[in-house]
Amino acid sequence: MTHEELITELSHRLNWPEPKVAEMLEAAVEVMNAQLADNNPITLANLGDFITRRKTEYISVHPENNERWLIPPAIELLFEAAPELKEQLINNVKV
């Protein structure tokens, strides 16, 4: 589903005009980005948890020439699906 498709679907379900839905979605994403930037987890009921994890810096060594590189620290965004979502996905799998 694309961003535009999501806006259209939400517009139909909520019976709101698409510009209002787009504005609300943008505001929600801004709030989520700000919280995640501050390392605050976000839990969405029946969907899951968004959390950040800091990866420490490390030294990578090339196996052939032993050249060393310092890999800087990084922040990873992780998502853990809620049990309800996992169950729904398992039950809806079509083979």
pLDDT along the chain (95 residues), means of 10: 96 97 97 95 96 95 95 95 92 69
Instruction: Judge if pTM exceeds 0.75.
Output: no
**32 with 50, same domain?**
no
**22 with 46, same domain?**
no
The whole-number pLDDT of residue 95 equals: 45
Q: Which of 46, 52, 47, 18 minimizes the C-alpha distance to 33?
A: 52
The whole-number pLDDT of residue 92 equals: 83
The whole-number pLDDT of residue 94 equals: 60
**65 with 89, same domain?**
yes
Domain of 80, in residue numbers: 39-95
The whole-number pLDDT of residue 68 equals: 96
Number of domains in the chain: 2
Q: What is the CA radius of gyration of the chain?
A: 20
Q: Which residues 6+ apart lie within 8 Å of 35 measured at CB? A: 42
Judge contact between 36 and 52, C-beta under 8 A. Answer: yes
